[in-house]
Structure 1
Amino acid sequence: MSLIDNLAHPTRSVPNHADFVAFLADADSTDAVERFALSRMMPHTHIRQGSIADATEFMSRLERPPRQLVVDISTSAMALSELAALAEVCAPSISVVVIGERNDVGLFRELLRMGVDEYISKPLTVDLLTRLLGGPGAAMQPVHQVRTGKLVACVGARGGVGASTVAANVAWYLSHSIERRVALIDLDPFGGPMTILLGTQCNNGLTDVLKNVRRLDPQYLERTMVGVGGKLFVLSAQNALDSAEILDTEALRELVGELKRHFHYVIVDMAGRAGATNIAMLEEAQVVALVTEPSVYAARETARLMRTAETRDAHAPVMLIVNQPRQPGKGELALHDFEEAVGRRASHVLPYDHDAASRAENLGPPVVAERSALATALKRVGDDLAGRRLDDKPKKTFSFRDHPLLRHLLEWRA
């Protein structure tokens, strides 16, 4: 479609991305917004007559979020509830404008608390829209930004417990099944497993972004990040093994802050459990996903990490994920003994499933894309992060005998 044709008939195309999206409840309002878009020479638009539910469905299918979204609540029986559902599929960076019939200050304040930037009462005119949304050439930026994405720091209590597997599969599930925009950062500067787990190539984008953090913008990030489907984007590095390159902690903080403006979730796969970079991510995180296993050493390190995470100023919750990465043996701790040792119950338990894990790593796709006990457990972790209700709790499958060294661990905790 030509630029002129698109400007003259903005509702014809059904794009996979648009800069300006509007759903209006009546023909007169739709016509007014179309004329407004035409007056501003906005070629990348999608304007149509429809409900909030239509807008929610459309936004869930867009590969790239628009800069501005206009929705009409005039015919909605439960406007706030429907707007809350719409917010779930909207990236935090989107400027949302609500159209209604009532000039209600109380409603406007409630909408502001939800992250809406402007409320406009009908009837709509081109002059009114130009005055409130900006004249020709004006940048469509949010007046304020209440909503930001959620930073999830995924850390392992020790090497080999499956923290990277959890990070990769949860990121894939949130983006492909729940249709949220997800940024996944592999913090291993020498090449972590993320590209293998997701079947992608490393373009050393993390190194480039951290060196240019001062000029971050959506277009630059989109060019640098490696896409896995339409809504999952990966940042990783693969420096030479003899390289002296280290990650700039302050630049990483700025990067995470910028990514939270454009993604629902920013999941960081931490390359270790200590050091300035890892502690910075624990401090910035809204959720700490602590992956561990039922062993004496892992229990000791889990307790140390929990103390570190829980003494942060942010007071973000710690999601304790107990994984069984190896065939259960007679010397393993029972789950209830492990929980007693670390001082809290597990949030999720991942069962031993060597076939599913090895098949996913070597052949793909990720575990959660197929059916297995491990896939079901990983989906529960994703649902928990997304705030979905879990109908029933995972079964505790551990039945190992008590470990003879457990008493020493309990004495150490005391």
Structure 2
Amino acid sequence: MTNAFASRPYDPLDDEFDAELDVVPTPAPLADGDINPREPLQFTAPGGHDPSQAPAMPGGSVVAHPGGLPVAQGGLPAGAGYNPVGDLVAGASAAIAPHAFQSGLQNEVTIPRIAIHVFAERQDTLAAAERAGQDRRMARATTQIRVGGVPAAVDAYNHEPTPPLIIVECMQDPGALLWQVDRLAEVCDAGTKVVVIGATNDIILFRELMKRGVSEYLVAPVQPLQLIAAIGGLFSDPAQPFVGRSIAFVGARGGAGSSSVAHNTAYAMSEKIGANTVIVDYDLPFGTAGLDFNQDPLSGVADALGQPDRLDPVLLDRMMVRCTDKLSLFAAPATLDTDWDISPEAFEEVTTQIRGTAPFIVLDLPHIWTGWMRRTLIAADEVVVVATPDLASLRNAKNMIDLIRSGRPNDAPPRLVLNQVGVPGRPEIPAKDFGSALGVHPSLSIPFDAKLFGAAANNGQMILDAGAKSKAAEAFQLLAQIVSRRELPQLAAPGKAPKGESKSLFSGLFKKKA
């Protein structure tokens, strides 16, 4: 293989994550004579080629693009789905499961507003293409899925222009596949990209397809995220700006404390993990981010939403308030003088622009339900639903999680955090029952500590500063590790536990619920 394929292939079983590489990697420069798989189709197909006269393809043993991953129920690779056991905390306590993070795309991809035509032969390929078309990363693209493989594509493009991207499936032998591709080349417009799905995992076939101008070759069966990664790789721009990872926090009901959880988690990510983080307070009339960090609340978010098309890195930097060396704040104006009638497109554009400023963007969302809220939750890389252990939170959390699941079929379900656990005299739903009703076990529970939280809020401090050794502080550090997918320094060397003590650092964080 040439160095054009130096970037790591898609692996849905790999949990490794690096926020600094949250964009599609740029391929290495091509050497003289190398074949560029991302060149548009420029076919010079021989006319009247018969598959029976196709040259015999010698067998190859080198894997070009790994495929054929075991399929679990629902069409996802086995082992790539959400692991409810990994996030299940014994009773109401918190624990880390290293492999519980949702596997999926190694890097976030950006797919432009293009038309994509899929011509499949197998039912599982049709299902994978349909599921990929429903993915949040494909929201701007228009996908048409048809049955019939390459012959159907040739017949269609005899009468209509070709789209920017065609995905065709051909399960025939290599010689027949090359003949089919040559037929397709005769009806393709210049500049069209083609992805071929075949049955043979053969490096010789792969090279022959690249010589003919095919952009990518995948081995069946393919998975939805595999298709999305391939499409994103074809349309990646080497000059595309950096894109950070967005983490949305939303409360299941008013007063659940989602803002406090969001701010303390972001602070732990910046101070304990050492990652540059930006907090965006989208609760325009009642936002508390400025108060929580003892900052004079500027109209940063409001100004940005008012002129999203004029935003640039310099203007964004002027609108943000720097709380620490690694934590910045987009504060809400917290005023009722304006009705704040802002379009969903403005929220989407501002969020996209802010994601280019830091590896992690924490979105503090208000407890309202509007079009922009729905779009923001579905588009976020990670969603954290904060609930209190009561019936109203249970009902609302179920509605939210069900909606987000349906809008994000290829992502892990939202994370559930139980807050204010253990209020004296208040009947509570046990964490185990709460999670069972939702189908999402709580990632952790945060104990009720009125004195600590009240003092921190009144002094404009975070819990890590007001009570560094408290159980709540340890919980926020753990949540920071979960949502950032990075280890805290004190957890990086688990083998250094005292002799005879095998318990996790957080194993005694909370008592087990009866």
- TM-score, scaled to structure 2: 0.50
Say if 1:146 and 1:246 are closer, same or farther in 2 by CA, change over 3 A.
Answer: closer
Matched, 1:256 2:351: yes
Name the structure 2 match of 1:221: 316
Between the aligned partners of 1:300 and 1:368, the Cα distance in structure 2 is 31
Matched, 1:358 2:479: no
Worse overlay, 162-171 or 344-353:
344-353
1:289 corresponds, among 372, 384, 389, to 384
Greater Cα radius of gyration, structure 1 or 2: 2
Name the structure 2 match of 1:320: 416
Name the structure 2 match of 1:271: 366
Q: How does 1:39-78 map to 2 (within 5 A)?
A: none
Say if 1:315 and 1:272 are closer, same or farther in 2 by CA, change over 3 A.
Answer: farther
1:384 offset after TM fit, Å? 0.8
Name the structure 2 match of 1:132: none
Cα deviations across residues 91-129 of structure 1 (Å, max 9, x unaligned)? 869x99999xx99x89xx9xxx989xxxxxxxxxxxxxx
1:341 offset after TM fit, Å? 2.4
Between the aligned partners of 2:306 and 2:22, the Cα distance in structure 1 is 25
Worse overlay, 310-319 or 225-234:
310-319
1:378 offset after TM fit, Å? 0.8
Worse overlay, 238-247 or 212-221:
238-247
Amino acid in structure 2 at the alignment position of 1:229: T
Name the structure 2 match of 1:200: 295
Amino acid in structure 1 at the alignment position of 2:317: E
* SS of residue matched to 1:255: helix
Q: How does 1:363-374 map to 2 (within 5 A)?
A: 363-369=459-465, 370-374=468-472
Between the aligned partners of 2:245 and 2:251, the Cα distance in structure 1 is 19
1:172 offset after TM fit, Å? 1.1
Cα deviations across residues 138-185 of structure 1 (Å, max 9, x unaligned)? xxxx82449621111100011111100111011111122222221211
Matched, 1:303 2:417: no
Cα deviations across residues 225-257 of structure 1 (Å, max 9, x unaligned)? 111112222112225324222333211101111
1:386 corresponds, among 463, 484, 492, to 484
Cα deviations across residues 315-349 of structure 1 (Å, max 9, x unaligned)? 43311111126624352222222222223311111
Worse overlay, 287-296 or 143-152:
143-152
Say if 1:316 and 1:196 are closer, same or farther in 2 by CA, change over 3 A.
Answer: farther
Say if 1:114 and 1:171 are closer, same or farther in 2 by CA, change over 3 A.
Answer: closer
Name the structure 1 match of 2:263: 168
* SS of residue matched to 2:355: helix
Between the aligned partners of 1:239 and 1:352, the Cα distance in structure 2 is 27
CA contact (8 A) 1:153 1:285 kept: yes
Say if 1:211 and 1:166 are closer, same or farther in 2 by CA, change over 3 A.
Answer: same
1:90 offset after TM fit, Å? 4.5
Name the structure 2 match of 1:22: none
Gap runs ≥5 in structure 2: 1-7, 9-16, 39-105, 109-236, 495-503
Between the aligned partners of 1:283 and 1:114, the Cα distance in structure 2 is 18
* SS of residue matched to 2:455: helix
* SS of residue matched to 2:407: coil
Name the structure 2 match of 1:345: 441
Say if 1:396 and 1:260 are closer, same or farther in 2 by CA, change over 3 A.
Answer: same
Cα deviations across residues 34-90 of structure 1 (Å, max 9, x unaligned)? xxxxxxxxxxxxxxxxxxxxxxxxxxxxxxxxxxxxxxxxxxxxxx9xxxxxx9574
Aligned alpha-carbon RMSD (Å): 3.7
Name the structure 2 match of 1:237: 332
Name the structure 2 match of 1:153: 248
Say if 1:297 and 1:239 are closer, same or farther in 2 by CA, change over 3 A.
Answer: closer
Between the aligned partners of 1:89 and 1:331, the Cα distance in structure 2 is 41
Bigger relative contact order (CA 8 A; separation at least 6): 2
Name the structure 2 match of 1:376: 474
Matched, 1:178 2:273: yes
Between the aligned partners of 1:341 and 1:396, the Cα distance in structure 2 is 21
Between the aligned partners of 1:184 and 1:329, the Cα distance in structure 2 is 34
Between the aligned partners of 1:328 and 1:246, the Cα distance in structure 2 is 41
Cα deviations across residues 348-368 of structure 1 (Å, max 9, x unaligned)? 111222222112111142012
Between the aligned partners of 2:260 and 2:352, the Cα distance in structure 1 is 24
Say if 1:242 and 1:279 are closer, same or farther in 2 by CA, change over 3 A.
Answer: same
Gap runs ≥5 in structure 1: 1-79, 81-86, 116-141, 401-414
* SS of residue matched to 1:384: helix
Between the aligned partners of 1:239 and 1:323, the Cα distance in structure 2 is 24
Say if 1:312 and 1:270 are closer, same or farther in 2 by CA, change over 3 A.
Answer: same
CA contact (8 A) 1:295 1:332 kept: yes
CA contact (8 A) 1:334 1:398 kept: no
* SS of residue matched to 1:361: helix
Between the aligned partners of 1:198 and 1:319, the Cα distance in structure 2 is 25
CA contact (8 A) 1:91 1:261 kept: no
CA contact (8 A) 2:289 2:332 kept: no
Name the structure 1 match of 2:286: 191
Say if 1:339 and 1:219 are closer, same or farther in 2 by CA, change over 3 A.
Answer: same
CA contact (8 A) 1:288 1:316 kept: no
